[in-house]
Structure 1
Amino acid sequence: MTDVDEVGARIEQLLGGFSGTDAELAEDLVHTLLEFYGAGLARIVEVVDRPVLDRLAEDDLVRGLLVLHDLHPRSTHERVAEALDKVRPYLGSHAGDVEFVGIDDGVLRLRLQGSCDGCPSSTVTAKYAIERVVREAAPEISDVVVDGVVADGAGPAETGPGGRPLLPLCPVEVP
């Protein structure tokens, strides 16, 4: 199992199987192991040259570990800015852009700019595209709030697997 989210979910599931004093001991064991591995990873980060560390940080698994232990070589702000640059061509094709407002307690605040005349669902599609690239770059972001996303007036969106909205897409492919 190498997916960071899967491992986290599995740990939570296993810890949920304990109760009382056993639960406290299990949580203490997990925290102790995380501290131990985090300290070892911190030593590696100290020794490795920056170009090598940057290459390692591109790997999803390594990036997740670096973020978990607050060792990522680039700040959350830098990684979010890079992610937004990836989605800007899509937004620009709809005469729009996104402005970085700030990060507060793990919540990223953005402002959608411009409009997508004649394509009301495109703003929801844009929000989805933004959330996807941001979560890939900065998994420590707990929520993405995008001001300027307008509803299409069609009522609640249908959802597909994983609760993702089923959206009528505009003719432009989402990055």
Structure 2
Amino acid sequence: MSLNARIGRIESLLERAEPPAVELAQALLDLYGEGLTRIMAAADDDLAARLADDDVVAHLLLLHDLHPIDVRTRVEDELRGTGAEVVSVDGDLVRVRLDDDGGRCSADAARRAVRDAAPEVERIEIVQPLPKVGTGRWTT
């Protein structure tokens, strides 16, 4: 079963669960979060990066706000070479600018890349490309 399928199954079960079961799940989540906090505190940079490279571990680190690589870096790495660039990261909002050559990266592809790199991001804005120098688009 894929990671997304597992997450969906857990969310579905929690929606139907009785309050004591939800409380149990939260207590387990808190306990595992404390364990992961201690692991990440003891990990050197190399180990932390290797842990973050594993999709399942990375998801758990994100869930507990422990991912060692910041949102901007993860998104920039994902967009590298696509013709899209991160303009800003502000809380749960990432702004991305596409290049103006008409096309190595569509807005939909940029949104998917941001979601893949940083699933905790809730809002993605695509901003207008900057005009190229010498295009005659701006005249005075």
How many residues are paired up?
Answer: 129
Match of 1:81 in 2: 76
Contact 1:76-1:138 at 8 Å conserved across structures = yes
Offset, 1:2:
5.5
Counterpart code for 1:137:
A
Higher RCO (C-alpha under 8 Å, 6+ residues apart): 1
Determine if the alignment matches structure 1 residue 50 to structure 2 residue 45.
yes
Provide the C-alpha distance between the structure 1 equivalents of 2:119 and 2:43, rounded to a whole number of angstroms: 23
Q: What code does the residue aligned with 2:71 have?
A: T
Q: Percent identity?
A: 35
Q: Conserved in 2, the CA contact under 8 Å of 1:83 and 1:133? A: yes
User: Equivalent residue for 1:90?
Assistant: 82
Gaps of 5+ in 1: 92-96, 117-121, 150-175
Q: Partners of 2:87 and 2:99 in 1: how far apart? A: 11
Q: CA deviation at 1:99?
A: 4.2
Tell me what 1:114 maps to: 100
**1:22-74 superposed Cα distances (whole Å, 9 cap, x missing partner):** 2x222222211111001011111112222011011111111111111111111
Quick one: distance in 2 between partners of 1:36 and 1:146?
38
| Structure 1 pair 68–2 and aligned structure 2 pair: CA distance change class (3 A) | same
1-structure distance, mates of 2:7, 2:24: 15
* 1:110-146 alpha-carbon deviations (Å, 9 max, x no partner): 2334241xxxxx48x5222222222222111123221
**Partner of 2:13 in structure 1?**
14
Q: TM-score, normalised by structure 2?
A: 0.77
Q: In the alignment, is the contact (CA less than 8 A) between 1:99 and 1:112 conserved in 2?
A: no
Residue in structure 1 matching 2:119, options 136, 139, 142: 139
Structure 2: stretches of 5+ with no match in the other structure:
130-140
State the superposition RMSD in angstroms. 2.2
Amino acid paired to 1:134: V
1-structure distance, mates of 2:118, 2:86: 17
Q: In structure 2, what is the equivalent of residue 40 of structure 1?
A: 35
Q: TM-score, normalised by structure 1?
A: 0.64
The code of the aligned residue for 1:90 comes to T
